[in-house]
Structure 1
Amino acid sequence: MTNQELQQLVEKVSLNYFKKPFLHEASFNRRLKTTGGRYHLKGHALDFNPRVIELYGEEELISVIKHELCHYHLHLEGRGYQHKDADFKKLLKDTGGSRYAPLLIEQIYQVYECQTCGIQIKRRKKINTQRYVCGGCRGKLRWKGEESSTRKTTENK
């Protein structure tokens, strides 16, 4: 999808779901790493992470567009546009936008297993198994290996 196609999609979503025109610029920004999109308060432009469409498809991109358009329209109307504001939460729920961005980077976990009770413990960083023990039974930990996670989080809370 090109920036021009994205611009047309954002304008279409704005008219269909918000009944208001989108009058500013929308573009892809490859520098975004962990977020699906961003709204600029000063220039009213919208940036979107191209990895959303690459990993999850156009449907997920549309829900991220709805999220950013909630910020856009509420800010221009002078209403509460932040995530914590009731106006934002209500408009987001009414339009069906995503509350959270999908996971866009692969997370690697270190997996440890207790030698006594057998419970598995996942950590982002490696730990010293000579120093740390199981929090449940105080048993020795054994490193099992690495595990990657690329789950999709699209809860509407």
Structure 2
Amino acid sequence: MDDLSLEQLVNSISLEFFNKPFIDYVTFNSRLRTTGGRYIPSKRKIELNPKYLLEMDIEEFHGIIKHELCHYHLHITGKGYKHGDADFKELLKKTDSPRYCRPLPSEAAAFKFQYNCEVCGMVYRRKRRVDLKKYRCGKCKGKLNPI
């Protein structure tokens, strides 16, 4: 998908769910790692993670676009556009937009080590090895065992 078709997609979603046109900039940013997209208020620009278009279904990608459009439309109207603001939460519900995006399948497989607590059974997934002599369960202080 090129930038022109991305702009057309975002504008059509904006018109459908918000009844307002999207008149600013939207691009792909492949450097985004932990999020599906972001809205930059100072530039009035939306950046989207292209990995979500490739690895996830199109509905998840549309949800990310709707989420970022909530930030955008609230910002340009002068209302609370941040995650904790009541206006933002209300618009998310009204447009049926997700609060957070699901993790990518390629990132979920990145956890090499798993530990569970012998007392409460809490499971911890880690990319790096944990020193079991030094660390305990954060929930109940029980001993951790590798899975």
- Asked if structure 2 preserves the Cα contact closer than 8 Å seen for 1:109 and 1:122, the reply is no
Partner of 2:76: 76
The AA in structure 2 aligned to 1:16 is: E
Partner of 1:46: 46
Q: 1:112-154 deviations in whole A, cap 9, x for unaligned? A: 467x77x574342423345557787966x6533xxxxxxxxxx
Secondary structure, in 3 states, of the residue corresponding to 1:27?
strand
The AA in structure 2 aligned to 1:18 is: F
1:110–1:58 CA distance, 2 compared to 1 (3 A): same
Partner of 1:147: none
The correspondence of residues 76-115 of structure 1 with structure 2, limited to 5 A, is 76-104=76-104, 105-106=107-108, 107-112=110-115
Larger radius of gyration between Structure 1 and Structure 2: 1
Secondary structure, in 3 states, of the residue corresponding to 1:111?
strand
The AA in structure 2 aligned to 1:64 is: I
Shift of 1:30: 0.3
Q: 1:44-98 deviations in whole A, cap 9, x for unaligned? A: 1110000111121211111100000000000000001111111110111111111
1:91–1:113 CA distance, 2 compared to 1 (3 A): closer
- Asked if structure 1 preserves the Cα contact closer than 8 Å seen for 2:14 and 2:69, the reply is yes
Partner of 1:126: 129
The AA in structure 1 aligned to 2:21 is: P
Shift of 1:109: 4.9
1:133–1:34 CA distance, 2 compared to 1 (3 A): closer
The higher relative CO (CA closer than 8 Å, separation ≥ 6) is in: 1
Shift of 1:2: 1.9
- Asked if structure 1 preserves the Cα contact closer than 8 Å seen for 2:14 and 2:21, the reply is yes
- Asked if structure 1 preserves the Cα contact closer than 8 Å seen for 2:60 and 2:101, the reply is no
Can you give the 5+ residue segments of structure 1 that lack an aligned partner in the other structure? 145-157
1:66–1:137 CA distance, 2 compared to 1 (3 A): closer
RMSD of Structure 2 on Structure 1 (CA): 2.6
Can you give the 5+ residue segments of structure 2 that lack an aligned partner in the other structure? none
Identity %: 42
The AA in structure 2 aligned to 1:110 is: F
- Asked if structure 1 preserves the Cα contact closer than 8 Å seen for 2:67 and 2:99, the reply is yes
The AA in structure 2 aligned to 1:13 is: I
Q: TM-score, normalising length from structure 1?
A: 0.77
Q: Tell me, yes or no, if structure 1 residue 13 matches structure 2 residue 13.
A: yes
